[in-house]
Amino acid sequence: MMEQTHRFALTHARRTDPRTSHEAARSMLAGSEAQRESVYWALLRGSRPMTAHEIATSSGLTQVQVCRRLPERESDGRAEPTNDTRPGPTGRASRCWQLRRVG
C-alpha cells in the first residue's frame, strides 16, 4: 500500500510542487478507494446491470464520482461494461455495468 500511495502522490503532484500538494495527493488515495468500494457494493446489491446514474443513486456518490471510478473497477477486474444501455436522467442512452463474472 505504501508503494501505491507513493506512486499516486507522484502522479498527482509535480516534484516541484509544495509539500502541501504532495500531502493532498496522498490524502486523495483513501477517498478514491472508498468510492471504488461503494461502486462495487452498489453493483453487488443490484439485481441487474446498472447505469452510472443508478449506481450513484444506490451508493450515495455523485454520478461524476461513479464515472471516475468505473474505469478503475474495470482495470482491476471487478466490474465490466455490458452491451446493454438504458435511458439516463436526460433520456440519452447510458452504458450498463455489472460485476465481472469469474470463471
Across 50-68, b (16+ Cβ under 10 Å) vs e yields bbbbbbbebbebebebbbb
pLDDT reported for residue 103: 65
pLDDT in tens, the chain (103 residues): 444 444 554 467 788 888 888 777 777 666 788 899 999 999 999 999 999 999 999 999 999 999 999 999 999 999 999 999 999 999 999 999 999 987 6
Q: Are 51 and 84 in contact (CB under 8 A)?
A: no
Predicted structure pTM score = 0.74
Domain 2-99: assigned CATH number: 1.10.10.10
